[in-house]
Structure 1
Amino acid sequence: MEIKRKNKVFIGILFLFTLLLNTVLFPADVNAAEPGEKYIIATDVTFAPFEFQDESGEYVGIDVDILTAISEDQGFEFELRPMNFSAGLQALESNQVDGMIAAMSITPEREEAFDFSDPYFDAGPVMAVREDNDEIDGYSDLEGKTVAVKVGTTGAELASELQESYDFEINQFEDSAGMYEDVVSRHSDAVFEDYPVMAYAIQQGLELRFPTEPEEGDSYGFAVNKGENPELTEMFNAGLVNIRENGTYQEITEKYLGDSVESGQQRGFLALVQQNFGNLLSGMGRTLVLTLISFAIALLAGTIIGLFSATPSKALNVIADIYVTILRGIPLIVLAFFMYFTVPQLLGVQITAFTAGVITLSLNTTAYIAEQVRGGIAAVEKGQLEAARSLGLPYGLSMRKVVLPQAIKIMIPSLINQFVITLKDTSILSVIGIVELTQTGRIIIARNYQSGPMWIIVAIMYLVLITLLTKLSNLIERRLVAND
């Protein structure tokens, strides 16, 4: 019976290890090229019409199509790394990516940190309000109102400048769709965004209007880290000249900004599910794989740290206490940024977003499991250990044969709850470019602006997944108890 149980554990570990290898070695990267040298390019895929995901799951848009045309012209390959704008800047600064294309304005401040290509597009920010809002017709009407902006953009800079003259509050968002929804749902009164992006959104059915004319804008450029990848910038510039001369550039801009662009149509709930089911299922799969691998690692490490807390050794007690105190005290999003951006800079290495995500979740979950193990052992009556020791059993054998089996029964409900928490925590990892279920929902919303129905769909998928896994965990718990 013991051998069979060990075999099952071995098979489970082997399965999780296989999943890890499959995900790390064969990641589902966008525009992944054939094996060979290629560049990793960061982009914000919630910024239509410059970069977004179409209904077939492909990343498209003015930026993506321009980069694709230039790469074909110059003979280099690339992978897109989707993440929000501010995270993309950090990834570029830490050399986690080779370049960034995300409708990024060339400003003096950014030129201090990055090297830019020649400008490939000119656009200025503009203010928009709800379609039925007749109170705001100019900047002076913003007095006492609330404005939504996107972090790190020229629209945010314009709002900050205007705030010095007009007293209004600013709500900051990481993606365009979120700030649009904030205005439509009446939490904010106005929004600032680059004119082509906002015009495209309104064309797709977003209920906003322009009370003012667009401001004079900045030029967009392709960016690399200061002093890094100069050959990439040179190829971009040379390719940009060529695609402008052969008409490809004009075709791309007309495709997304011309009169022939089709207006968006509102879709029903079921149609929204049907059209995006594949993408949502893929995102849920990444969520599940991240959870299983991270929790398996944390279960092993957490048990060890928890045993450190329960041993008579003061040194091991201190080690466990320091680990738990530090890891429980650091917010998960800060830990994710640290692992993906700071650690590579300190060590001079590159790690994938998936690997950083697994490490982040594992470190965080280990701290909580360690406390659950310590609490489970503490809940077993001390007389149990004393009785085993009085019979001549050594400490280690007494713990393994007498205390731990009883502690495991006590810990199982807490471990099941921690598994659910870990699954939901995967949504935070979208900040480092992992397209799990929540980020998949954001990407879809950036295309169709139907945030209400989409978040309901995502919530239902989480609910179904967590319910099924909880039922499975409860079944395993009952069988373990019955076997004992």
Structure 2
Amino acid sequence: MKKLTHLVAAAVLALPVMASQAAADLAEILEAGTVKIAVPESFAPFGFLGATGEYDGYDVDVAKLIAEDLGVELELVPVTSNQRIPFLETDRVDLVIATMGANPERAKSIWFSSAYAPFFSGVFASGDKAIASAEDLAGMSVGLTGGTLEDLELTKIAPETTEIVRFGDNAATRAAYESGQVDVLVSGNTLAAAISADNADADIETKFILKESPAFIGVKKGNLDLLFWVNTFILHKTLGGELNGFSEKWLGQALPPLPKL
């Protein structure tokens, strides 16, 4: 009997702790007056620490607009890639807006909204180069970061006469393209966008897409009202042009059609 009493007491003591860890659904966010949103800690142009000491980027702009439409204060929580899902699962954030792709494995842990931002691996070059497919890369030198998704995808389809030059990291790949060491850049669209953002005279455009991997907003499982609200927000801002404005501002391209869940 004494053992049972101790077990009951322990369970009662645990209840407040369990309640405090409950996820903040839509009604709770509105009542609290604050929404906590995870954004990339260092992944320009989606999320990065700007010159003013404030976080900036595509994902940060989306987070600010969400807080504005909710009518609540925004608390930004910068995260690394491997913190995104754990922070959501442990209620450190209400939403994750951090260039996160949706896949079946991740969907075992969290829910995903419809896509809100384009993210893709592509082939980029100057406007004077007529490139519409992999076949057009014959005889050209192509710079990319070795061992990446772009390396794997292009190696499958590039003509034998394509010179694929592999670099150790994105910085070296970018430098090679900007210096004219290679004719073509193959990378994620964020690297191409960074080149355009840093140099208004940069001659670089998307030639074709290797692999689409758009970004989705992460919502904790069970927060159905919040998920529905976020999807309505994405639809509203797509139709209203706000997301297109963010895409033009940060990625240098019009918002393409994005998948809906």
Query: How high is the TM-score relative to the length of structure 1?
Result: 0.34
1:117 Cα deviation (Å)?
Answer: 0.6
1:46 aligns with 2:43: yes
> Amino acid of the residue matched to residue 208 of structure 2?
E
CA 1:142/1:184 → structure 2, altered by over 3 Å: closer, same or farther? same
Counterpart among 222, 243, 249 of residue 237 in structure 2? 243
Q: Match of 2:66, SS?
A: helix
Quote the Cα distance in structure 1 between the aligned partners of 2:139 and 2:103.
28
Quote the Cα distance in structure 2 between the aligned partners of 1:172 and 1:107.
28
1:94 Cα deviation (Å)?
Answer: 6.0
Q: Deviations over 1:430-472 (max 9, x none)?
A: xxxxxxxxxxxxxxxxxxxxxxxxxxxxxxxxxxxxxxxxxxx
> Amino acid of the residue matched to residue 157 of structure 1?
L
1:222 Cα deviation (Å)?
Answer: 0.9
1:82 aligns with 2:74: no
Relative contact order (alpha carbons < 8 A, sep ≥ 6): 1 or 2 greater? 2
Is the contact made by 2:121 and 2:186 (CA closer than 8 Å) also made in structure 1?
A: no
Quote the Cα distance in structure 2 between the aligned partners of 1:91 and 1:170.
34
1:121 aligns with 2:113: no
> Amino acid of the residue matched to residue 243 of structure 1?
K
Q: Match of 2:98, SS?
A: coil
1:108 Cα deviation (Å)?
Answer: 4.5
What is the count of residue pairs matched by the alignment? 210
Counterpart among 142, 150, 153 of residue 161 in structure 1? 153
What stretches of structure 1 of length at least 5 have no aligned partner?
1-34, 260-484
Is the contact made by 1:101 and 1:222 (CA closer than 8 Å) also made in structure 2?
A: yes
* 2:215 alignment partner in structure 1: 220
CA 1:235/1:255 → structure 2, altered by over 3 Å: closer, same or farther? same
Q: Match of 1:46, SS?
A: coil
Which of the pair is proportionally richer in helix?
1
Quote the Cα distance in structure 1 between the aligned partners of 2:82 and 2:154.
26
Query: How high is the TM-score relative to the length of structure 2?
Result: 0.56
- For the pair shown, the structure with the greater C-alpha radius of gyration is 1
CA RMSD of aligned residues (A): 4.5
Q: Deviations over 1:93-143 (max 9, x none)?
A: 764544322333334454444421112234532134799xxxx99556689
Is the contact made by 1:88 and 1:100 (CA closer than 8 Å) also made in structure 2?
A: no
Q: What is the aligned-residue identity percentage?
A: 22
CA 1:258/1:218 → structure 2, altered by over 3 Å: closer, same or farther? closer
Quote the Cα distance in structure 1 between the aligned partners of 2:76 and 2:243.
20
* 2:57 alignment partner in structure 1: 61
Quote the Cα distance in structure 1 between the aligned partners of 2:39 and 2:145.
24
Is the contact made by 1:98 and 1:229 (CA closer than 8 Å) also made in structure 2?
A: no
1:73 Cα deviation (Å)?
Answer: 1.0
1:453-468 map, 5 Å: none
Which of the pair is proportionally richer in strand?
2
Q: Match of 2:44, SS?
A: coil
> Amino acid of the residue matched to residue 218 of structure 2?
A
* 2:14 alignment partner in structure 1: none
Quote the Cα distance in structure 2 between the aligned partners of 1:186 and 1:254.
26
* 1:103 alignment partner in structure 2: 99
* 2:24 alignment partner in structure 1: none
1:169 Cα deviation (Å)?
Answer: 7.7
Q: Match of 2:65, SS?
A: helix
CA 1:83/1:212 → structure 2, altered by over 3 Å: closer, same or farther? same
Quote the Cα distance in structure 2 between the aligned partners of 1:204 and 1:183.
14
* 1:21 alignment partner in structure 2: none
What stretches of structure 2 of length at least 5 have no aligned partner?
1-31, 128-133, 254-261
Counterpart among 223, 227, 235 of residue 233 in structure 1? 227
Is the contact made by 2:35 and 2:67 (CA closer than 8 Å) also made in structure 1?
A: no
